[in-house]
Structure 1
């Protein structure tokens, strides 16, 4: 499953600042590419930089919510990995408010 929201073309008339968000479930790709999720993240980051000149943020986690939270605190050009056994340890220092991804212009 791959989703992209919103395409820059749809919002270009409204604002010049666009943050493209891509959520990709790579569970089926692990076997096909013979790489672990971290290796797939490196491959995706390399492709986006080489083809489009864009640094990307990748986050790998046991579920989509944790991956989104991790991506929100990961700087561009980096990958954050949260293993299932480390979820509580990763979440513990974060307050409920700081754990939510902040998006400019979104309440």
Structure 2
């Protein structure tokens, strides 16, 4: 969606990246937490599939992964709302001012 905006086509990618930086950072945090959690759960299930195993470390990782998920999805929704702003898809005074500041 970033590439479809008029702001991107004008060349103000830095303006868009400033707005989506928290989302990119949270995605970089959420993905490794999710991979680690699921790998750990699969390893525990493969080692002993006849009983339920839940360790303290796994529970801590589960809590951190879920907190990261809340943050990630909140920022994702906020970015989707930002990309729905019609000012990003047409020429406007706001965009001309931002372009003039970027050129200086």
Q: Taking structure 1 as the reference length, what is the TM-score of the superposition?
A: 0.24
Select the structure with the greater relative contact order (CA < 8 A; seq sep ≥ 6).
2
> Larger Cα Rg: Structure 1 or Structure 2?
2
| Normalised TM-score (structure 2) | 0.25
Larger strand fraction of residues: 1
Give the number of the structure whose residues are more often helix, by fraction.
2
